[in-house]
Structure 1
Amino acid sequence: MSGWAVLGIVVAVLAVIGIVAILAAIVLCGLATKPDRFAVREVSADSIDDYFERRASFAITIVETTPLSRKEVWERLTTAEYLSSLPFLHGPSWAPDTGDPDGDWRSVRVGARRSMSGTILSVGQRVVEVDDSESLTLVGTGVSVPLAIKDFAERFTIVDGARPNTLTVTWQIGGSPRWVGFLPWRWGTPFMRPILGFVLRHVLRLKPFRRPTVDRSA
């Protein structure tokens, strides 16, 4: 087989791979419009600690200190769509029956649901534990992509900082993929820490977030 023939085969294979990748991206973008399309196993409230410490295939803890007030931090965690100001991300957006975002900043309750979305993936969550202005725990309820994620959860904890007029915010995240959850995913913690640390610092930035628009015509 001549070199030109080999080159032609390689180009054809790459073209097919490119077309398949484009079609897959289109499908994923369509699926991402519904975060609860495919249900995941919900982590029970009484097993959250064990989930983060042992059962989740991947788990990480991010800690940041902020001079923001406790009320401001809690408002951001419960009412701000803090991901929407990052590229290709949106949310978290609470379900309409969660409470009026323009009302009491302590309105989030157990059972409230919210979603977060990206270009090709979106997820749904439910609040399982809440201690006003101190901690917020959510577990995954669904994802937009089938057969991808087994379960996931996150928890925010707010305590007084070591220095006066500061707070320490701890963000715990855990999750397990389907089928390959036995792999040592926790080894990837050093690679994810800078990315998730950036997200938490973004949540705690000194510049206020724009409050989500509420449609009162419904």
Structure 2
Amino acid sequence: MTSEMWIWAAVGIVVAAALAGLGALAVLFALAHGEKGPRRFAVAPVEGDLETYFDEKAAWAATATTTVPGTPEHVWAVLAAGGYLALPFLLSGPDVDGDKLVYRGPFSAWAEEVARKEPGRELVTTGAGVSAPLLIKSFGQRFLLRPAPNGVMIAWTVAITPKWIGFLPLRWTGFVARPVLGFVLRRAFR
């Protein structure tokens, strides 16, 4: 094979990979949109005790903590109203409808249901559905609110168990997400 043929083969492989990637994004985009998007594929309910799931059982979890000015009642009002995690072009939501929450992004959408709430103190949600199949086994979020000397301390935990690699010890990677979760948390409740 000549060097010219090798170059054309490499270009062909790169173009094929780019087209496959664009095709995958188009499929994810289509699955995430529409009324059914966030509940297109059901996820397993969190098994056992919720605290144990967040603190030990979930394959991956990260907790961000910050203190914001205001009262626990004010922070609870923001949680109850929804829309607090909206990031332009990346994420909208949650849209709150009673005990159901829906989040949407350009290539993913997911639905949660309130598992436990204590106004002004705690909100725990667990996954009900996702737009992309074969990825997530279970997931949930936990918001803990505590009075602090200069406002309200919020501890936000996100926990996920993937379907195919949930047996791997992924928890140690949570430190990577913690700064991002902290930024989103501070932005949401400023």
TM-score, normalising length from structure 2? 0.94
Contact 1:41–1:150 (CA under 8 A) maintained in structure 2: yes
- Secondary structure of 2:107's aligned partner: coil
Distance 2:88 2:124 in 1: 23
Q: Which residue does the alignment assign to 1:12?
A: 12
Distance 2:180 2:20 in 1: 29
- Secondary structure of 1:114's aligned partner: strand
Counterpart residue type for residue 144 of structure 2: T
Q: Which moved more, 1:141-150 or 1:71-80?
A: 71-80
Distance 2:64 2:53 in 1: 16
Match of 2:178 among 193, 210, 216: 193
Counterpart residue type for residue 140 of structure 2: A
How far is 1:83 from its partner? 2.6
- Secondary structure of 1:35's aligned partner: helix
The answer on 1:120 being equivalent to 2:100 is no
Q: Which residue does the alignment assign to 1:51?
A: 53
Contact 1:59–1:174 (CA under 8 A) maintained in structure 2: yes
* 1:67-216 paired onto structure 2 within 5 Å: 67-95=69-97, 98=98, 112-161=99-148, 163=149, 165-205=150-190
Q: Which moved more, 1:131-140 or 1:59-68?
A: 59-68
- Secondary structure of 1:88's aligned partner: coil
How far is 1:85 from its partner? 4.0
Aligned pair count reads: 187
Displaced runs of 4+ in structure 1, greater than 3 A?
none
Gaps of 5+ in 1: 99-111, 206-218
Distance 1:182 1:19 in 2: 32
- Secondary structure of 2:164's aligned partner: coil
The answer on 1:2 being equivalent to 2:29 is no
Counterpart residue type for residue 142 of structure 1: G
- What RMSD, in angstroms, separates the aligned Cα atoms of the two structures? 1.3
Higher strand share: 2
TM-score, normalising length from structure 1? 0.82
Q: Which residue does the alignment assign to 2:31?
A: 31
